Amino acid sequence: MNSVTRTTAEISERRLDGRVVLVTGAGRGLGAETAVALAQAGAEVVLVSRSVKELEEVARRIVSSGGRAQIVVCDVTDGARFRAEIARLDRLDILVNNAAVNLPEPFVDVSEEHLDRVMTLDVRAAFLVAQAAVRKMLEAPDRRESGGAVINVSSQMGHVGASQRTVYCMCKHAIEGLTRAMAVELGPENIRVNSVAPTFLETPMTASFFANRQFRDWAVSMIPLGRIGKPEEVAGVIVFLASSAASLINGASLLVDGGWTAH
């Protein structure tokens, strides 16, 4: 195989034509950029979030570039509602389990309200979303041949500890454990399960953090590449994991952290 043929084959492996992908937290930040990148790779994207206006804007970006998208306005912490929405889909091949929240505060000051809020979305809802999505994948008559993929969006905080982030670290460590257990159980069904663990990104969720110059300087100092990440840099990794180019990757956590965890 010459270099031109090899390059063409490699590009083809990263295509997602004919695949249906569901992205939670798709209205903004990493979820929005991931949805756009998946559509550019040929997938039909199901956009899930609570905000119809945000979803409409993401869908507009996708459709204006020739892609396909549909909107599902849903709070993923409502398991019954999410299962009902999944049931309406004709098929589902790939899940990007992205919705999450972070409420940084000192360990001794964490209230039960905040503890429950973060764990409900970041762990309980993530589990129920994955469960409903996999059930749908298993319904596909061609699933043994076509396979499926789940990409859980974790964090570098799923691999390390950090001050002011005890609840978030706990939740993301749980997501890493869930990813590995799902990978072992679902591998024989030809459904691959992996996680992506980004460093701090420039997103609406982190904007208030970076408004504090001292915090921003600290975060940059922890990243050997010397800069905060961009959502599109992680979106490309998610597209890769969703594609056949990653067909032997299962139960892995891909760190997209600029070297944070290499310390």
Neighbours of 29 (CB within 10 A): 20
The answer to whether residue 172 is catalytic is yes
Taking residue 8's Cβ as centre, other Cβ atoms within 10 Å add up to: 12
206 token code pair: 């982190």
SS (H, E, C) 75-132: CCCCHHHHHHHHHCCCCCCEEEECCCCCCCCCHHHCCHHHHHHHHHHHHHHHHHHHHH
Are 150 and 97 in contact by the 8 Å Cβ rule? The answer is yes
Q: Using CA atoms, how far apart are residues 5 and 167, in angstroms rounded to an integer? A: 49
Query: Could you give the angle at the alpha carbon of 165 between the alpha carbons of 109 and 154, nearest 5°?
Result: 145
> Which of the following is catalytic: 53, 136, 172, 230?
172
Active-site residue (options: 53, 136, 168, 230) = 168
| Contact assessment for residue 152 and residue 130, using Cβ atoms and an 8 Å cutoff | yes
CA distance 238 to 156: 15
> Residue 70's closest CA among 83, 97, 89?
89
Whether 168 is catalytic is yes
Distance separating alpha carbons of residues 247 and 65, to the nearest angstrom: 28
Catalytic residues: 168, 172
